[in-house]
Amino acid sequence: MSITEKIKELHDTLPEDVTLVAVSKTKPIADLQEAYDAGQRVFGENKIQEMTEKWEVLPKDISWHMIGHVQRNKVKYMAEFVDLIHGVDNFKLLKEINKQAKKYDRTIKCLLQIKIAEEDSKFGMSAEDATTLLASAEFTQLENISIVGLMGMATFTDDAMQVQKEFKHLKTTFNNLQPTHTSLEIISMGMSGDYELAIAEGSTMVRIGSSIFGARNYTN
């Protein structure tokens, strides 16, 4: 299937309340342009420099999502345009995003990344840490960021029961926090291999790369 066909298929089949983030990391501008021409407006990248280079040349009505792990010293390069940062997992990073957003007189939307996988390699904070952060006085002083939801990445495994359990954990964490933090609206979970399961477990935002753009080649 072409990129165009795949985008159209996803737009036709995803539930209306689920946002599609087209994960275009490592892919050339022409591929993003094709997805754009098929109607896609939300793109996810995991490297700040690569995202910035693409932002500079592509249409300005694209919503850019940073889905990767963010280094604090690089926030300044995306503060002018990034729409949503998925991978916030500590207060120091949040403080830096706030500081850089202020320079552009913007409010940057963020998701707290919750560690739901059992793998050690995945980033994220515990549900308890997220609760503490959201309740802290320091947090309420940050006026140029808005926490609009939670993000999680499941273990990379064929064990669907395991993945389902991890998605349920994110949904439960969201349900526990939402009543006292009503700005939380988004649950970002699900990728090419597990987005249907994620949606069944309450995802409102899926991050799909390889099934749109094909496998990534990290060697070029």
Catalog residues that contact ligand PLP under the rule CB under 6 A.
23, 25, 46, 67-68, 153, 191-193, 207-211
* CB 103 to ligand PLP: min, Å: 26
Q: Quick one: 46 or 204, whose CB is closer to ligand PLP?
A: 46
Q: Angle formed by the axes of helices 160-177 and 127-135, to 10°?
A: 20
Q: Quick one: 105 or 218, whose CB is closer to ligand PLP?
A: 218
* CB 70 to ligand PLP: min, Å: 11
* CB 182 to ligand PLP: min, Å: 26
Buried residues in 53-70 as b, exposed as e (16+ CB within 10 A):
ebbeebeeebebbbbbeb
Q: Quick one: 46 or 100, whose CB is closer to ligand PLP?
A: 46
- CA atoms in the 13 A half-sphere facing the CB of 9: 9
Cα 29 to Cα 65: distance, rounded to the nearest angstrom: 16
* CB 215 to ligand PLP: min, Å: 8
The DSSP secondary-structure symbol of 52 reads H
Q: Quick one: 39 or 214, whose CB is closer to ligand PLP?
A: 214
Cα 217 to Cα 97: distance, rounded to the nearest angstrom: 31
